[in-house]
A and B are shown apart, each in its own frame.
Chain A
């Protein structure tokens, strides 16, 4: 299995509190992605990174920020969590070229109460 780890795996937090999810890889892949998955919506891209300190927005980036200070770590931050951000979050990694596979983490289930 590819070396990709998400932490925490489960979290319950209160509305208005900041939350940071971590994605850690040992594969030295250039690209890292954060997705959220909700019933009826499939996987939606939040942010992605194409290198250290290089990030870009996905389709549902409002309310989220990311940082990548090291190749192996990609952090997703909810500055002030809302109930609409209750979801399952997945991290993924891939090489730069489009003919290689992406690898996904096991997901983080976040509940905002």
Chain B
């Protein structure tokens, strides 16, 4: 299965941009890059996903390297409510028509007031 590598933790100040990196050097051509986040005491929630091109939505932006071996989740103005664990995952194709959803340990983002 294709794996991702993220820093264990990062820190940011409120209202400043945050760039959360993810390495996925063994990504296959058909893997989508997904980002989820998990707020304290909650289940993970979807943030954004992409394949090759950069993506924007109301929550964040996703910048994907040209060789697709890395990506960066960008929070344009961090708020205290963005403090969470952020997971970068790849949608694995595990054979036939089956798709696993495998998580790593993620990055714990701390936002300082």
Contact = CB atoms under 8 A, between A and B. Distances in A.
B68 interface: no
Contacts, number: 66
Contacts of A33: 101
A35 B99 contact: no
Interface string A31-65: 10101000011111100101000001011000000
Interface residues of A, number: 28
Chain B interface mostly helix, strand, loop or mixed? loop
Given A33-B101, A42-B105, A98 B91 contact: yes
Contacts of B42: 106-107
A43 B98 contact: no
Nearest to A31: B99
A33 B103 CA distance: 12
Interface of A: 31, 33, 35, 40-45, 48, 50, 56, 58-59, 90, 92, 94, 96-99, 101-107
